Amino acid sequence: MNEANQAEMMTGADIFVNALIAEGVEHVFGFPGGAVLHIYDAIFKQDKFQHILVRHEQGAVHAADGYARSSGKPGVALLTSGPGATNGITGIATAYLDSTPLVVFTGQVPTSLIGNDAFQEVDSVGISRPCVKHNFLVKDVGELAITIKKAFYIATTGRPGPVLVDIPKDVTANRALFEYPKTIEMRSYKPVVVGESGQIRRAAEMILSAKRPVIYSGGGVVLSNGSQELIEFTRLLGYPITQTLMGLGAYPATDPQFIGMLGMHGTYEANMAMYECDTLIAIGARFDDRVTGELEKFCPDAKIVHLDIDPSSISKNVKVDIPLVGTVDRVLQDLIQVIKEMGRKPDSDALATWWGQIDTWRATDCLRYDRNNELIKPQFVVEKLHELTQGNAFVTSDVGQHQMFAAQFYKFNQPRHWINSGGLGTMGFGLPAAMGVQIAHPNDTVVCITGEGSIQMCIQELSTCKQYDLPIKIIMLNNRYLGMVRQWQEFFYDKRYSHTYIDALPDFMKLADSYGHVGMRIEKPSEVEGALKEALAIKESLVFMDFLIDQGENVYPMIAAGKGHNEMLLSPERELA
């Protein structure tokens, strides 16, 4: 292929391929179809990036998502028109709510047929509009290269997100001069990077004056690669820090200043500290409902500093006192510098008293569970996994009880190692996301923690794993229920378990074997550690582990709908805090 800056007449398909090469794309996740055949023919003729053939378009977008979250590079998916595009919408919406940088290309019917209800025609731009950061319909081959450049720029700057580019088939066949710009500016899109100096100084004053401070950090820290700045900031102040589900790993979970995840299934100490704090420092977090609980009861006595790249997220759900707009890394660097220049220290006596109170809450041991049981406890499986991998594995999950157990009991010390669907809560995310992670990190241990309900949503991707020799370790916590839904039915619907028991499950060992993988069934607590060790020792193959766990185990702590952080359900024996 030619250098990106050389102008040459090319087909739209060749322009597409050359543009991706110029962007440094190494992997594309996709599934072919009639509308993208010219593009696939051009892909066949190049060797600069690898195409990963998935088994379902939803899997393609989730795999691109896992690739992006774990690597920090934009994920790329290629789908055909019609059902190919609509199958990808769930993946696009998942990425949108978790701010993952994706560029999703969809084929479209020829421009002359758009609007005629042609074979495999859907309005991909209209359908995707609510769940993309931006989208494009390319009607002129001469605009294709610049549009792709814009797509990557929009997806990866500011608050990241998915961008969809819809390309009619005739555009991929027509010819134009190819010249790919090295940089781009868009008059209507200029994200703010650096915080306003006056606001930073005001924030520093408020932060240093705190008596009962809490640092509350979210996924924005991970997305902006601001982990080191967050660690320096937190240790400089000596303040307690809590993290959202999406923020785990940005600050080391084994550090004594970390008081656990907050929110609906957060720790007692984190939620009580949030409720009692007088100063809340929110960094790269969006105050979503699973974190805040009942808004009227959220941090009732706190002044709030909120740092975020997206100004529309500030004071959207919770009114804040000092807004800071910019990237987490840059603004924290400036904030650290201002605090050091001020020469002030936090109130040591007040901070010691505050830590004493937090330690009292910690003594509650809110994550305690019954370890003397004949049934496998899901918490025990995750704890053993953490112990055996020393916290260094990449862990993906689906959605439900297993997701919360993974978040609570796997102690993430590094960013980009915890990959889950937080905002949309997408069942079926875990396995294809793990594929993307394993493609991005071929020499690392990648584990998918899932449930027997979630895994079947995209289980066909076991075929993709076989084709590309992806040695993912699947830990299925099998309680024969849609566990989180069953938990809510137990608590709030008088144990009317309406359609949450999963009957007629397959033999997962035979299923794994039929795909060419290694299958295991683990039925006793005494078998857990040995099975995990055996699976982790198998470096060249995917291992599917079916753990038959306690069907009645629930996720605690829990904040019920309409409750505040100080009204936690700790366990059946320990009702409300």
169 is catalytic: yes
Q: How distant, in Å, are the alpha carbons of 3, 8, 101, 146, 244 from that of 15? A: 12, 10, 22, 10, 41
274 is catalytic: no
Q: Are 499 and 93 in contact (CB under 8 A)?
A: no
Residue with tokens 């035979």: 510
β partners of residue 545: 475, 520
State the catalytic residue, choosing from 1, 26, 49, 120: 120
Residue with tokens 């040459």: 8
Residue 77 CB neighbours (<10 A): 32
50 is catalytic: no
- Considering Cα of 403, then 408, then 411, then 414, what sign does the dihedral take? positive
Strands 175-178 and 8-11 come out as: antiparallel
Nearest to 162 by CA among 67, 255, 235: 67
Consecutive H or E run containing 153: helix 144-156
* Gap between the Cα atoms of 437 and 71, Å rounded: 8
State the catalytic residue, choosing from 435, 484, 520, 545: 484
State the catalytic residue, choosing from 44, 119, 491, 492: 119
* Gap between the Cα atoms of 108 and 137, Å rounded: 9
In this structure, what are the phi and psi dihedrals at residue 9, rounded to the nearest 5 degrees?
-70, 125
Contacts of 141 by beta carbon, 8 Å cutoff, 6+ apart = 11, 12, 15, 171, 172, 174, 175, 176
* Gap between the Cα atoms of 439 and 397, Å rounded: 17
Nearest to 55 by CA among 373, 460, 442, 348: 460
β partners of residue 283: 217, 307
Burial class (CB in 10 A: 0-12, 13-18, 19+), 26: middle
State the catalytic residue, choosing from 23, 57, 269, 276: 57
* Gap between the Cα atoms of 255 and 146, Å rounded: 46
Tokens for 209, please give them.
Answer: 């004056």
Q: Are 453 and 482 in contact (CB under 8 A)?
A: yes
Q: Which amino acid is at 499?
A: H
* Gap between the Cα atoms of 453 and 426, Å rounded: 12
In this structure, what are the phi and psi dihedrals at residue 146, rounded to the nearest 5 degrees?
-65, -35
* Gap between the Cα atoms of 512 and 520, Å rounded: 9
* Gap between the Cα atoms of 88 and 96, Å rounded: 12
State the catalytic residue, choosing from 149, 169, 303, 473: 169
- Half-sphere CA count of 480, side-chain side, radius 13 A: 10
Write out the catalytic residue numbers. 57, 119-120, 169, 484
